[in-house]
Amino acid sequence: MSTLILLRHGQSTWNAENRFTGWVDTPLSANGREEARLGGQRLASQRVHVDRAFTSTLVRAIDTGRIVLDELGQHALDQVRAWQLNERFYGALTGRNKAQTAEEFGAEQVHIWRRSYDIPPPGGESLADTAKRTLPYFNEIVLPATLEVATVLVSAHGNSLRSIVKELDGLDDDAVTRLEIATGVPVVYELDGDGSVVDKHIVT
């Protein structure tokens, strides 16, 4: 048995401004740093010890993972950074305010760009595109790590984590469009010896 912890980064400054962020390297907001601290404290209350940590190359995920590890007293544990765990790329929507974009293109169209599985925004990635880079890394690097050590932490983003949860939970393309992953809230999977899910719970 091993433990896999998935953690969406805390609120970023552009999250707070309701802007499409994607690959723009925006930092955590003060609220986002507090969300990360609370997530770490919740894991610490369960006496979690992380053996290996992965994150994206974007500072909001890196800092979230670092704050959590610090709360666990694991100041020296390095995080493995991988671009494959980055947020989806939003193309022409990057930097735009979501409400203003809905006014310009229509709420239904923006909802399709944000939540459909395989329809990308102009010049950007769909969730399916994100999964094509995230899942090979997860299956070839992260999942094997759970067979080598007891506890693995992945600090990443809403859409890269949705790709992973889709596979772990066996969700179809329609179900994953309704999946929400809260910022700063650890999602914990217990895995058996072949990487199959035995249990899942959210640490609140």
List the catalytic residue out of 71, 87, 125, 157.
Answer: 87
Average pLDDT over residues 83-96: 97
**CATH class as words, domain 2-148+168-202:** alpha beta
SS3 13: helix
Average pLDDT over residues 35-56: 98
Q: Give yes or no for residue 105 having a pLDDT over 90.
A: yes
User: What are the beta bridge partners of residue 8?
Assistant: 156, 183
- Among 41, 20, 42, 38, smallest CA distance to 30 is for 38
- Among 84, 28, 78, smallest CA distance to 50 is for 78
CB 64 within 8 A of CB 52: no
pLDDT tens digits for range 139-155: 999 999 999 999 999 99
pLDDT band at residue 115 under the 50/70/90 scheme: confident
108 is catalytic: no
What is the pTM (predicted TM-score) of this model?
A: 0.96
How many angstroms separate the CA atoms of 190 and 57, rounded? 26
% of residues, the chain, pLDDT over 90: 96
87 is catalytic: yes
